[in-house]
A = this chain, B = another copy of it.
């Protein structure tokens, strides 16, 4: 039945997905609606369109249509770096001496270095189509900002990025990549916005946070003629665009008769995980197949495993819609010693609902063990993984080692979301034995959760 599996499966250009898959259409329990932060009423397309492009606002609220056409212009852009390969990790299997079969979908083969580009080009495209002049966004580790800069350069759209100040200073090369793509990069908090000035007044010398950068980007978007705000994760529209990862993966699996037993993804806001698992989850929801899905999050920012499923603010300035999600509270800030990304306090509403419904599991892992997995993977598979992606590698290796004990020949699939070229400060810490772990106390989390909005 099954063909011989090459090291890397590349679909043909003609086999690329032409529609995104909207998993909400197949969910019995839909994600809870976004609420207006002032009225606590469900957000309408009209209201959302003040912040997002019209077509994206519609996608955000669409929980009916299972498939949405990918516009030709986006398909053409996808062809520049997609299909992404589905890789059989023969070398890792051999190094682990495991009977498990390990596959990973590699999304790092583009200059932005991660899967973020899949949604960046979509969001930039709809902005351009609507006749806008530019978009604003925030970036932490820098992958999203880089991806959006690339997409905007391609479409000749202005791009204003608020970069968390500590990253702006510690990752000057990320900043330069964005500038090379023509983006305007401002360290956040800045004095260019009202919310930024307020935060600076209240916390002089603060090095910023993602929640604060979001607030600044939204403020500029809604107050500047011809601008809208775009976001790289958490939102349902983002998971929709990222479904291209899962659709390609599923097509490659079907073509070669590969049946994954478990599908593993790292989870920060949930965009990669949601995109990878969506089409497979669809099959599970429709009763066509079963898979074990595992979300992997850092022990230092454990929204699924230790957070609460509740409505919360998405940003520090509390200007964004309220979202029901697994959250650690919008004031939660992961320990500074946490090196990778995945630092967001909340989780995608779709992923949260699937998790709450018991359709997937989650586990948290500590960063030194994540970097050990990253190093092992790099040495045998020849790809230097991003710290974020390495959370999935950690669990994939753990599961493969369990198979070694039990003798089971499980098929393990994980998402390798990106490369770690801009994370060498973290690798250096690890190489020098200077990296440590941090797990928030129950009190810390309870303190943060005490500030959830009262509905």
Q: Measuring CB to CB, which residues of chain A are less than 8 angstroms from any residue of chain B?
A: 6-8, 10, 12-13, 77, 79-81, 91, 109-111, 113, 150, 153-154, 172-173, 176-177, 179-182, 375, 378-384, 419, 421-422, 424-425, 427-428, 431
Contacts and interface: CB of A to CB of B under 8 A. Distances in A.
A interface secondary structure, majority: helix
A78 to B, nearest CB: 9
A46 to B, nearest CB: 35
28 contacts: A6-B13, A7-B80, A10-B10, A80-B381, A109-B109, A111-B378, A113-B421, A150-B379, A153-B378, A154-B379, A154-B380, A154-B382, A172-B424, A173-B421, A173-B424, A173-B428, A176-B427, A176-B428, A177-B427, A179-B427, A179-B428, A180-B375, A180-B378, A180-B427, A181-B378, A181-B379, A182-B379, A421-B422
Nearest to A182: B379
B8 A79 contact: yes
B180 A6 contact: no
Nearest to A431: B179
A372 to B, nearest CB: 11
Contacts of A179: 427-428, 431
Contacts of A379: 150, 153-154, 181-182
A404 to B, nearest CB: 20
A339 to B, nearest CB: 13
B150 A382 contact: yes
A7 B6 CA distance: 22
A87 to B, nearest CB: 8
B154 A111 contact: no
Contacts of A10: 10
A373 B320 CA distance: 41
Contacts of A7: 13, 79-80
A81 B382 contact: yes
Contacts of A422: 421
Given A176-B428, A182-B379, 4 more contacts: A6-B79, A153-B379, A154-B382, A180-B431
A80 B87 CA distance: 8
A441 to B, nearest CB: 32
Nearest to A152: B379
Nearest to A14: B6
Contacts of A150: 379, 382
A355 to B, nearest CB: 33
A374 to B, nearest CB: 8
Contacts of A424: 172-173, 176-177
Q: Which of A91, A111, A179, A381 has the largest count of B CB atoms less than 10 A from its CB?
A: A111
A215 to B, nearest CB: 28
A383 B111 contact: yes
A10 B111 CA distance: 19
Contacts of A176: 424, 427-428, 431
Contacts of A428: 172-173, 176, 179
A85 B7 CA distance: 15
